Chain A
Amino acid sequence: MNISRRATIRNSIGLALSGVFAAHVSRVAATADDTAKLIAEFAGDASPAEGKIKLTAPEIAENGNTVPIAVSVESPMTDDDYVESVMVLAEGNPNPEVITFNFTPLSGIARASTRMRLAKTQNVVAVAKMSDGSVFTDTRNVKVTIGGCGG
């Protein structure tokens, strides 16, 4: 094969650029792997199932600085059967952790809402852990018009 000097230079520039780009991406956004790792840590031995938990988020968020979200979990909330905690994660934010709600039987109903920041269009995941150790999850895709991380 004939390797010309020009082609070699072109290739090396391409490689260097892709390297820069990859480094940039890994710094700015968390990956789905990070999120999966956090969910596994949170869930412990249980494997997350669908259902019981409902995550409410807008389909399109114009301003990524304040995106209203709400979580509610079906549970009788008695002393021996209640929702221990709900973790909310954003896959595409610089840090995927958003908030962890800790409920008690005194909460009456396992529901909470707040406002969060979203850097870009991405999936928001909510994971609920029950007092018996079972884990439930729900995911919503939110389209973001203006990102909310001041980048």
Chain B
Amino acid sequence: MAAKPRIKVPKTAAAGDVITIKTLISHKMESGQRKDKKTGNLIPRKIINKFNCEFNGNTVFGCDIDPAISANPFLEFSAKVTESGTFTFVWTDDDGTTTEASKDITVS
């Protein structure tokens, strides 16, 4: 399962600002195309196939991920903040497990 994600969100922002959020999570993103060198069998696919970001319960950004995304998937996107609150991030694995994280932001 994926390890603790790294997320960069500014601590403070002015109301109405568009901020940049960067996330990185450790995951092998096994594409299902690689072969085991010893046995010659295909290694089964196991990737993070969904990512979602919410701010105070409203979806800000999401994406459907396919095996063509690199290992340790990195995502950078924007969000418009009008009030203080919490960003929550959810990564969903092929086997259904999820990794969740959250970050607070103070808007003045």
Contacts and interface: CB of A to CB of B under 8 A. Distances in A.
Interface of A: 65-67, 70, 77, 90, 93-95, 97-118, 148-151
B100 to A, nearest CB: 18
A110 B55 CA distance: 16
B61 A65 contact: no
Interface of B: 18-19, 31, 33-35, 55, 58-71, 73-80
| Chain B facing A: main interface SS | strand
Given A99-B64, A102-B63, A113-B77, 4 more contacts: A65-B71, A106-B80, A112-B63, A116-B69
B33 A151 contact: yes
Nearest to B80: A108
14 contacts: A65-B71, A93-B68, A95-B66, A95-B68, A97-B66, A99-B65, A100-B63, A103-B61, A110-B78, A112-B63, A115-B69, A117-B31, A149-B33, A151-B33
